[in-house]
Chains A and B, each alone.
Chain A
């Protein structure tokens, strides 16, 4: 084999691409050929030189300088970063937001007409002109009585709560109310009422 082909073989050897047979071929040639031996030696030395190039390090404040040059984080990024770092506060905020929404919704969705909810509607006297719902003396209402946009005049018996939303509750001396009487007029009261209801539903054992 000629020396020119051998040089190619040397490069393949340096890339680790030669098999056993080629290695043997190369070795026998190099033992007999001074110029090829010299050539290979010089190549290996050149590689070693380059590999010996000392590993230099970048100045110590490099990272800080790069970070300082990054474009300012957008508000969205800041917000999402904060949310990621505070998962419980995030959950609490979402919960509060949804709760407030649903409570406010149930307040503002109402219209101005008189609404009565009770299990014994037939026993009630409803005076639409004065916007008063009367529980006549001697009658017995089972369960709660809730009136929206009107007053309640209780003269008889009610076994549950009596609640007037945006109205007042008048209790006559003859009346007997087993539960609470409540007048809800402002939004704050409404929210308090809703929260209390949730609390009562969650803790049915407590009085």
Chain B
């Protein structure tokens, strides 16, 4: 895997778009997932994911392939999410047209999951509870909890991503767990 990614980044560095497209395919869902759990809505999350890949492309020349590509891209995405939280854009409506004059609103971009209505409600509620609990964490705890438990990364990799010592990561995970516990204990 690492070898494949190394080859792809080297090719992308030389301006090979096909290689870059493959990198997007590998990472798009991971980055989108991180962004979605950080900001809590699809559209902002897609914007952030898109911005992440554009920044990766623009800064490929400065990427040092002695360390993992995943670490680098997660760092860019995490920073973008935290920046986005600082200067929160005005909320926009799903009824808004995606592109003026095309008659398509943002609902048309939402994916639909084919499930029974009751199923949907239960999962929906659970999902909202988790998302709500996460959104009550401070961004610096939220990002680390997402990287640890949703992206399933090791403490070492999280430490590389946010450039903080492992002991700090552990402290944040402990506090994050306590905060989530008090949020979710009454479920």
Binding site for B on A (CB under 8 A): 8, 11, 14-15, 39, 42-43, 45-47, 49-59, 62-63, 65-67, 69-71, 73-74, 77, 80-81
Inter-chain contact B15/A81, CB cutoff 8 Å: yes
Choose one: A50, A54, A59, A62; the contact of B149 (CB below 8 Å): A50
Residue of B nearest to A15 (CB): B170
Chain B residue numbers with a CB within 8 Å of A46 are 133, 177, 180-181, 183-185
Q: Do the beta carbons of A11 and B174 come within 8 Å of each other?
A: yes
Q: A8-B174, A46-B177, A70-B57 are in contact. List 6 more A-B contacts (CB 8 A).
A: A15-B155, A15-B173, A46-B181, A49-B184, A50-B149, A59-B46
Determine the distance from Cα of A52 to Cα of B181 in the docked complex, in whole angstroms: 15
Alpha-carbon separation in the docked complex, A46 to B37 (Å) = 15
Structural contact, A58 and B49, CB atoms closer than 8 A = yes
How many Å lie between the Cα of A63 and that of B26 in the bound state?
10
Q: Of all chain B residues, which has the CB nearest A53?
A: B130
Structural contact, B134 and A50, CB atoms closer than 8 A:
yes
Given contacts A53-B150, A67-B17, contact A59 B177 (CB under 8 A): no
A171 CB to closest chain B CB (Å) equals 62
Q: Are A77 and B15 in contact (CB under 8 A)?
A: yes
Quick check: is B109 within 8 A (CB to CB) of the other chain?
yes
CB distance from A83 to the nearest CB of B (A): 12
Q: In the complex, are the beta carbons of A69 and B50 less than 8 A apart?
A: yes
8 pairs, CB–CB < 8 Å, chain A vs chain B:
A15-B155, A46-B180, A49-B184, A51-B150, A53-B131, A53-B150, A62-B24, A63-B25
With a cutoff of 8 Å between Cβ atoms, the chain A residues found around residue B187 in the complex are 45, 49
Task: Scan B45-83; emit 1 where CB is below 8 A from any A CB, else 0.
Answer: 010011001100110000000000000000000000000
Q: Chain B: how many interface residues by the 8 Å CB criterion?
A: 47
- Judged by a CB distance under 8 angstroms, whether B96 is at the interface is no
Interface residues of B (CB under 8 A from A): 14-17, 20-21, 24-25, 28-29, 32-33, 36-37, 42, 46, 49-50, 53-54, 57-58, 109, 111, 123, 126-127, 129-131, 133-134, 145, 149-150, 155, 170, 173-174, 177-178, 180-181, 183-185, 187
Q: Are B184 and A45 in contact (CB under 8 A)?
A: yes
Contact in complex: A11, B177 (CB < 8 Å): yes
Cα–Cα distance between A45 and B181 once the two chains are bound (Å): 8
Least CB distance from A69 to B in Å reads: 6
Q: How far is the CA of A146 from the CA of B45 in the complex (A)?
A: 80
Known contacts A15-B170, A47-B177: A73-B15 contact under CB 8 Å: yes
B residues near A62, Cβ cutoff 8 Å: 24, 28, 32, 46, 49-50
